Amino acid sequence: MKRVLVICGLFLIMATPSQAKKGLDASAGKDAFETCRGCHSTPNYSNVAPVFYVPKIGGQRKAYLASALMSYKHENRARTSMLANSENLTEDMAVAISQYIEVSAGKVTKAGYTGGDAKKGEALAATCTGCHTGDLKDGMTAPILAGQHGNYLVKVMQDYQSGVRKDAVMQSMVGAFSEDELKDIAAYFANQKGLSIVK
């Protein structure tokens, strides 16, 4: 028992300096974000193969952003250009960058076209909006989808279906939809006012 206490005590002492290091904030995040601007601050910047617009992240929730960055690092998401951008990120730095992104919404531009039917999508998305609200201030942790590029939303829902992107909840939420239904859902969210590029 005594040994456990000693170990706990040591841990507390060791934990203190790293608490102090949490001085990383949005301004450190802003500096680190410079390498990301080419893709995430350029309106309608398109990925080449497959073709989809790079996701809008300006105004996205910081808790989600930090967890998304760690997902690339831990390979729960596809080995795209984002793996190279996240490979050496520490958790503290991911949090700092995410703080900067959340408060740095740029001009809201029209979302990429999906070809889906937004009205049908609204009915299909009735089970989604409890988690995917558009309001930054409501304390939710799921990503905001409002204003996201439609072709990115379709692509990423297909990634959940194929298991290229791993998340148990989302894989079960979108597993049964057809491609047309995914396009309808994407059109519904893409047509809303919300996310932007990072200014």
Where do contacts with ligand HEC occur on this chain (CB under 6 A)? 35-36, 38-40, 47, 54-55, 57, 65, 67-69, 71, 77-78, 80-82, 85, 97, 125, 127-128, 130-132, 142-143, 145, 153, 156-157, 165, 167, 169-170, 173-174, 185
Q: Which is nearer to ligand HEC, 7 or 199 (CB)?
A: 199
Q: Output the smallest distance, CB 62 to ligand HEC, in A.
A: 10
Distance CA 180, CA 3 (A): 61
Type of residue numbered 2: K
4: its two tokens: 């456990």
Distance CA 97, CA 30 (A): 6
Type of residue numbered 83: L
Q: Output the smallest distance, CB 5 to ligand HEC, in A.
A: 38
**Alpha-carbon radius of gyration of the chain:** 19
Q: Output the smallest distance, CB 101 to ligand HEC, in A.
A: 7
Non-local CB neighbours of 73 within 8 Å, separated by 6+ positions: 83, 86, 87, 89
Give the CB-side neighbour count of residue 30, counting CA atoms within 13 A.
Answer: 7
Q: Which is nearer to ligand HEC, 9 or 43 (CB)?
A: 43
Q: Contact at 8 Å (CB) between 100 and 179? A: no
Q: Which is nearer to ligand HEC, 1 or 126 (CB)?
A: 126
Q: Output the smallest distance, CB 185 to ligand HEC, in A.
A: 5
Q: Which is nearer to ligand HEC, 16 or 162 (CB)?
A: 162
Q: Output the smallest distance, CB 148 to ligand HEC, in A.
A: 6
Give the CB-side neighbour count of residue 86, counting CA atoms within 13 A.
Answer: 24
Q: Which is nearer to ligand HEC, 15 or 74 (CB)?
A: 74
Q: Output the smallest distance, CB 164 to ligand HEC, in A.
A: 8
Q: Contact at 8 Å (CB) between 111 and 148? A: yes
Q: Which is nearer to ligand HEC, 65 or 105 (CB)?
A: 65
